[in-house]
Chains A and B, each alone.
Chain A
Amino acid sequence: MFKKIGYLLLSMFIVFKHLFKRPVTLEYPEKKNIPPENFRGKPVVENCLGCGICLRVCPSGAITIDRENKLYKIDLKKCIFCGNCAYYCPHSAVKMSKEYELGVDNRENLVLSYPMGGADERN
C-alpha cells in the first residue's frame, strides 16, 4: 500500500518536472525550421554539361535530359531526395538546396526544368 502511494508521488513529481520545461515543438507556419547545412531538399541545377552520370545513379528515374530544347528536368513526383545525383555530379552542377516546402497547386509544376547553358559558354 505504502509502496503504491510512494510510486504515485514519485511519478507525479516526474510528470510535473517535465510539465514546466520549455516546449520542444515549433509553431510551424509562423516559425520555420531552419535545416542544417547538408540538408537534402529540392534539387537545384546550374550550368549542367549534360554528361548523364546522374541518370545512371538515380534509383527512381526522376531525371530526364531534353537535349533538343537544352532542358534538364527533374520530376519531383518520382524524386526520393536520396542525393545520389548531387554526390556523383563531376562538376557539382546538381545541388540539394535547403528548400523543403514543395507543395504546388498544379501537377505540372512538380516537374522542375532548368536550362543547360554550361556547354555553350565553354565553346
Chain B
Amino acid sequence: MNKLKLNLGPQHPSTHGVLRLILELEGEKILSCEPDIGYLHRGMEKMAEKLSYIQYLPLVDRIDYLAGFFYSELLCRTVEKALNIELSKRVKAIRLILLELNRMASHLLWIGAFLMDLGAVSPFFYAFRERELILQYFEKVSGQRMMNNYFVFGGVRRDIEFLEDIEEILKILPEKVNDYEKLITENPIFIQRTKNKGILDKNTAFNFGITGVNLRASGVELDFRSGDYLYEGIEFKPVVLDGCDSYTRYRARVQEIRESIKIISQALEILKSEKDLNQNLLNPFTLSLPEGEYIQEIEAPRGLASVYIKSTGEKTPYRFKWRTGSYYSVNLLRKLLKGAYLNDAIAISGSLDIILPEVDK
C-alpha cells in the first residue's frame, strides 16, 4: 500500500493552538508521528534577561493562559525563597484558593474542549458556563479574567473580597460535575472512542518525563502538592487511577475538580480565622537576587512546572529557564500515535491536555 504523508495542523481547530503533527500513514494506520512545535514562540526566557523582575511578572501569566496564577506564583515563590521571605497565613490561604480555582477552571475547559474534539457539543457549553463563574470571580478580585497579575513578590495586590462568590461556586459545581459525569462517563460512544486508546504505561511515562494528571492516571502516585508549603495543614488525597488510557485521564481530571473543591473549602476556613493580611512586600525598584542558582517547582494543571534562575546579583537574571508539563506531553505523541488509527489521533492528543503557548514559551 502507498504511504501518505499528512500534515495535521498547524491550523487544525483541534490542536489547541498551533501544533503541527507530521503523520506518515498507511491506509488509516499511523506509522510515525513527528510533532513540529515553535509556531507560538515568543522568547519568554530571553525576555526575562532584559526586564527587571517586576516588569517580567505580568508577562508570566501568558505562558499558560489557562493557568496563569500558577506561573506567577512560581516566579513569586522563587524570588521569595531566594530572599528568605515568610508569607503570612492569610496570604498563603488566598494564594491557595486562587490556585485551586484556576485548576478547576483549567480542567473544566479541558472537559469541554476534549468532548468537542470527540464531536459532543453540549458538554462544551456546560463546562464553559461553569468556568465563566470562576473567571468572573477572578475579574472581580484581580481586574482581569485570565491575565490576572495579582500575586506580587511577598504578597498579593490587594486583600481578597467577595468570599460569598467562592461559596456559591463551591455549592454549584459539585451538582454540575455530577451532571457531566452522568452525561459523559457512561456514554457508549465516548467509552468506545476513549477506552483502551492511547495507552500510556508507567515506564513510558517515566521515560518521557510525564508528570501531573497524565502520570497519576497511569497509576503512579506522584503529586508535588503534597510537599508544597502552601498546602501545609490541608488534607487532600492525590487522585491515582489505574487505567492508563484516555478514559482514565478523563476520570482523573473530573475527580481532581472534586478534590480541589475540598481543598478550597478547607482554605476558606483558614481565611475566615486569619483576619489581618501581613504582607512583606518587596521594593520592586531595588529587587535583585543574590548571586547563585535558584530552582522552585509547583504542580500545575498540566504537570510539573518549575523555574530555574541564575543570578549574578544584578537587577535582571542572567539566565531564566521554564520547565512546563505540556512540552513533554507533545513529545509523547510520537509514541502514543504510532500504530493508532487516524481518527483516534485527535482523541489521543486531546486527552493529554496540551496547551501550545506553554510548549513554545
Contacts and interface: CB of A to CB of B under 8 A. Distances in A.
B231 to A, nearest CB: 27
B187 interface: yes
B233 interface: no
Interface size class of chain A, counting residues whose CB lies under 8 Å from the partner chain: 20 to 34
Contacts of B158: 38
A36 B182 contact: no
A102 interface: no
Contacts of A37: 140
A8 to B, nearest CB: 9
A57 B182 contact: no
Given A36-B139, A38-B143, A40-B143, A83 B149 contact: yes
B59 A15 contact: no
Contacts of B179: 14, 18
Given A36-B139, A39-B139, A14 B285 contact: no
A7 B51 contact: no
A14 B143 CA distance: 35
Given A57-B284, A59-B58, A40 B183 contact: no
Contact of B59 (A11, A38, A59, A87): A59
Contacts of A53: 285
Contacts of A14: 179, 182-183
Interface in A70-102: 80-84, 87-88, 96
Contacts of A10: 182
Contact of B58 (A4, A36, A39, A82): A82
A118 interface: no
B141 interface: yes
Given A24-B129, A88-B284, A39 B143 contact: yes
Nearest to A37: B140
Interface string B232-254: 00000000000000000000000
A36 to B, nearest CB: 4
A74 to B, nearest CB: 15
A60 B308 CA distance: 23
B284 to A, nearest CB: 6
A115 interface: no
Contacts of B139: 35-36, 39
A58 B52 CA distance: 10
Interface string A44-68: 0000000001001111000000000
Nearest to B158: A38
B227 interface: no
B195 interface: no
B144 interface: yes
Nearest to B58: A82
Nearest to A56: B285
Interface string A5-39: 00100110011001000001000000000011111
A58 B182 contact: no
B147 A24 contact: no
Contacts of B51: 59
B188 interface: yes
Contact of A11 (B55, B157, B183): B183
B54 A57 contact: yes
Interface string B179-192: 10011001110000
Contacts of B141: 38
Nearest to B56: A59
Contacts of A58: 55
Tell me which of B52, B56, B186 has the highest count of chain A C-beta atoms within 10 A of its own C-beta: B186
27 contacts: A4-B188, A7-B187, A7-B188, A11-B187, A14-B182, A18-B122, A24-B129, A35-B139, A36-B139, A37-B140, A38-B140, A38-B141, A38-B142, A39-B143, A56-B55, A57-B55, A57-B284, A58-B55, A59-B51, A81-B147, A82-B58, A82-B149, A83-B149, A84-B54, A84-B58, A87-B157, A96-B143
Interface of A: 4, 7, 10-11, 14-15, 18, 24, 35-40, 53, 56-59, 80-84, 87-88, 96
Interface of B: 51-52, 54-59, 122, 126, 129, 132, 139-144, 147, 149, 157-158, 179, 182-183, 186-188, 284-285
